[in-house]
């Protein structure tokens, strides 16, 4: 493997990669040529991500694996599913998208993750973790009769394997035993003794055609070689138990092979080419290094998981705090005041701003891995025993724990605070990561408090308010930075359900803001002389202020960074209906369609939420 000290700033010379447009172009390459191809692909990936920004570390770790899989399997006829898809950039480059890779995550460019609408080589759309095995199993079952020669492969990371869904799928796979290959891309271990020596030796034996022949002959006939078969199987079981950590997968009904070196092209080629012909579900454990081939990325796997453009890497970071930092500061301060506070996150320590908390209060910090359902019910258990749990979770990931939210927290009216990061349109990660639906799916749940702060200081106030509230409560805030409002350090709260007047106008038209688009609402309200009210809460609504202003108004306009259907504006319409208020309304929010990846401002415009678009709609209405 060629090692790079830094990200190239100029386009590299890649003569072999230039000959490759699709996998068929390199399937006849020798191992030495494939090694050259992997070096060129790694350098090109470094350069392209340096130009575009995006996910880097995972892709660097699967360069060799991507090449071997596309070399040995007849993709796109054979189906290859990448779990999550952070690591799929090399796959995209090798499957006809090399010249477009610099457009990744940009408006109109390549999707940030595999997408079935983008390429026939993308077998399944991904973005959230731990879905690959379930999807692959469905494909394999559907193809079993109609196209029995079709092969099916899933690549799943060690992080994604922490989710219960992955093990549910493994259990079902072991039960029905289709011909599939599941590859565990384990980049949380260094390549050490258990990948060399005896382990490699037995891995090659278990994946060898000779051994396969012994097993097949023993399982197909009573004779010949029944003793050889039983002896081989007994030795295999005993040796796997000694040198390989695969017992759990064997117990689930899969044939475990590994671990092997995921950067050794020759070994990958040898083992996987033999596993192709094995009957039943195969589980291959591959050890890789996240960020492999780039020294700084190997040293800082978290920092190089995803990067900005190469220019921005070298610039000093902005001193303006992101919303996740606002939360991080608040929870440390709150924990110092309240010994019962416990922080929980499903594998989002850095992204949620919990690094400092985890250091200061390690006994009160729980990263439960990619296990959103568990995180919520775990919080419920803490709450019922008298603790004050705060679940730091992205809005889009709370969707995965909806039943637990209702059944385990809300029905019992338990004191759990949900800090919903990445609410609304998130930008370059696209629709799989946009938190558009939390207002709609939380608003219908009894006992739920829903806070929609408009800026940094309001976020701190609402977090304290939600935490002090005795019951289920959520505070939603967006990705990135806000309007840079001055933050009051004291742990003050506000009266639940109390809105605030931002701008009182002479005209009898009312604008109601819910959340982080207040800066847009202010531009519009001043331009059109509208009374602007920052509602602060979706549930409960400030009924007193709504009765005061809406009973005599001609029209109300709501604005929110969330789904129009079932959203905050809909809540106001329901309130008007219940109270006999006949009034025109314009609900400005995210329309009933998925907004594709772009910058956050571009996504807002695509949703019709720019100041000019909103003003145009209001003028047409009034």
Q: What is the pLDDT of residues 293-350, one digit of tens each?
A: 776 766 666 666 666 666 444 444 457 899 999 999 999 999 999 999 999 999 899 9
Return the closest-CA partner of residue 62 out of 1, 139, 16, 150: 1
Instruction: Give me the catalytic one of 42, 98, 105, 290.
Output: 290
Express each pLDDT in 430-451 by its tens digit. 899 999 999 999 999 999 999 9
Instruction: Give me the catalytic one of 43, 64, 236, 372.
Output: 372
Note whether 428 and 455 are within 8 A (CB). Answer: no
In which band, very low, low, confident or very high, does the pLDDT at 230 lie, cut at 50, 70 and 90?
low
Question: Is 76 exposed, middle or buried (CB count within 10 Å of its CB: 0-12, 13-18, 19+)?
Answer: middle
- Going from the C-alpha of 285 to that of each of 259, 264, 282, the distances in angstroms are 5, 13, 10
- Going from the C-alpha of 32 to that of each of 35, 39, 61, 528, the distances in angstroms are 5, 11, 19, 69
> What token pair was written down for 57?
């570390």
> What token pair was written down for 622?
């009034």
Note whether 434 and 397 are within 8 A (CB). Answer: no
Contacts of residues 519-523 at CB distance under 8 Å and 24 or more positions apart, as own/partner, are 519/483, 520/559, 520/604, 520/609, 520/610, 520/611, 520/614, 521/559, 523/611
Q: Strand 449-451 vs strand 473-476: parallel, antiparallel, or unpaired?
A: parallel
Q: Of 66 and 296, which is predicted with more confidence?
A: 66
Percent residues over pLDDT 70 in the chain: 87
Instruction: Give me the catalytic one of 79, 387, 400, 479.
Output: 400
Mean pLDDT of 586-602: 94
In which band, very low, low, confident or very high, does the pLDDT at 251 lie, cut at 50, 70 and 90?
confident
Neighbour tally for 432: CB within 10 Å: 19
Contacts of 539 (CB under 8 A, 6+ apart): 442, 443, 448, 449, 450, 571
The partner residues of 417 in beta bridges, in order of sequence, read: 390, 473
Express each pLDDT in 386-433 by its tens digit. 999 999 999 999 999 999 999 999 999 999 999 999 999 998 888 999
Note whether 325 and 353 are within 8 A (CB). Answer: yes
Residue 27 a catalytic site member: no
Residue 372 a catalytic site member: yes
Note whether 128 and 157 are within 8 A (CB). Answer: no
Highest mean pLDDT among 130-134, 285-289, 302-306, 468-472: 468-472
**Whole-prediction pTM:** 0.84
Residue 105 a catalytic site member: no
Q: Is the pLDDT of residue 88 over 70?
A: yes
> What token pair was written down for 424?
């609304």
> What token pair was written down for 81?
């599913």
According to DSSP, residue 483 is labeled S
Contacts of 433 (CB under 8 A, 6+ apart): 127, 394, 396, 422, 426
Q: Residue for token digits 């077998």?
A: 123
Q: Is the pLDDT of residue 249 over 50?
A: yes
Residue 557: its H or E element = strand 555-563
Mean pLDDT of 537-545: 98
Helix (H, G, I), strand (E, B) or coil at 377: helix
Q: Of 277 and 541, which is predicted with more confidence?
A: 541
Question: Mean pLDDT score of the chain, rounded to an integer?
Answer: 89
Find the Cα–Cα–Cα–Cα dihedral 404, 410, 412, 415, rounded to 10°: 100
Q: Residue for token digits 């799916």?
A: 441
């Amino acid at each position: 493997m060629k090692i790079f000290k830094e990200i190239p700033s100029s386009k590299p010379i890649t003569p072999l990669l230039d000959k490759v447009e699709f996998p068929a172009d390199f399937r006849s390459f020798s191992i030495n040529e494939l090694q050259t191809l992997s070096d060129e692909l790694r350098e090109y990936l470094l350069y392209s991500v340096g130009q575009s920004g995006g996910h880097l570390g995972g892709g660097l770790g699967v360069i060799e694996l991507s090449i071997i899989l596309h070399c040995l399997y007849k993709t796109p006829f054979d189906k290859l599913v990448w779990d999550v898809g952070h690591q799929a950039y090399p796959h995209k480059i090798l499957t006809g998208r090399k010249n477009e890779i610099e457009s990744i995550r940009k408006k109109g460019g390549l999707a940030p993750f595999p997408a079935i609408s983008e390429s026939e080589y993308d077998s399944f759309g991904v973005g959230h973790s731990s879905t690959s095995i379930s999807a692959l199993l469905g494909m394999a079952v559907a193809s079993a009769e109609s196209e029995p020669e079709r092969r099916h492969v899933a690549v799943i990371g060690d992080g994604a394997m922490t989710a219960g869904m992955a093990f549910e799928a493994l259990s079902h796979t072991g039960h029905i035993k289709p011909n599939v290959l599941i590859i565990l891309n384990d980049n949380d271990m260094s390549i050490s003794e258990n990948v060399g020596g005896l382990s490699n030796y037995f891995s090659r034996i278990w994946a060898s055609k000779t051994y396969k022949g012994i097993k097949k002959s023993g399982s197909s006939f009573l004779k010949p070689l029944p003793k050889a078969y039983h002896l081989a199987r007994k030795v295999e079981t005993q040796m796997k138990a000694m040198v390989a950590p695969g017992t759990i997968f064997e117990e689930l009904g899969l044939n475990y092979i590994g671990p092997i070196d995921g950067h050794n092209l020759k070994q990958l080629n040898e083992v996987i080419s033999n596993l192709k012909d094995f009957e039943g579900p195969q589980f291959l454990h591959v050890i890789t290094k996240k960020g492999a081939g780039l020294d700084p990325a190997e040293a800082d796997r978290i920092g190089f998981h995803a990067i900005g453009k190469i220019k921005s890497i070298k610039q000093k970071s902005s001193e303006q705090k992101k919303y996740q930092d606002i939360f991080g500061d608040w929870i440390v301060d709150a924990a110092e005041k309240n010994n019962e506070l416990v922080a929980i996150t499903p594998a989002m320590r850095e992204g949620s701003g919990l690094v400092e908390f985890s250091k200061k209060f390690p006994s009160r910090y729980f990263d439960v891995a990619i296990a959103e359902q568990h995180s919520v019910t775990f919080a419920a258990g803490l709450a019922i025993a008298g603790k004050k749990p705060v679940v730091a979770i992205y809005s889009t990931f709370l969707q995965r724990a909806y039943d637990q939210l209702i059944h385990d927290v809300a029905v019992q009216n338990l004191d759990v605070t949900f800090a919903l990061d990445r609410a609304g349109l998130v930008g370059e990660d696209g629709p799989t990561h946009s938190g558009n639906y939390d207002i709609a799916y939380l608003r219908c749940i009894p006992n739920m408090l829903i806070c929609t702060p408009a800026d940094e200081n309001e976020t701190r106030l609402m977090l304290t308010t939600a935490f002090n509230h005795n019951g289920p409560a959520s505070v939603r805030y967006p990705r990135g930075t806000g309007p840079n409002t001055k933050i009051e350090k004291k742990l003050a709260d506000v009266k639940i359900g109390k809105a605030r007047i931002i701008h009182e106008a002479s005209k009898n038209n009312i604008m109601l803001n819910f959340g982080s688009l207040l800066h847009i609402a202010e531009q519009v309200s001043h331009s059109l002389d509208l009374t602007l009210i920052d509602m602060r809460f979706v549930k409960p609504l400030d009924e007193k202020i709504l009765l005061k202003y809406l009973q005599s108004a001609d029209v109300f306009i709501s604005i929110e960074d969330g789904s129009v259907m079932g959203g905050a504006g809909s809540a106001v319409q329901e309130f008007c209906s219940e109270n006999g208020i006949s009034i025109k309304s314009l609900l400005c929010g995210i329309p009933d369609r998925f907004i594709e990846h772009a910058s956050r401002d571009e996504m807002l415009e695509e949703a019709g939420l720019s100041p000019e678009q909103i003003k145009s709609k209001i003028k047409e209405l009034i």
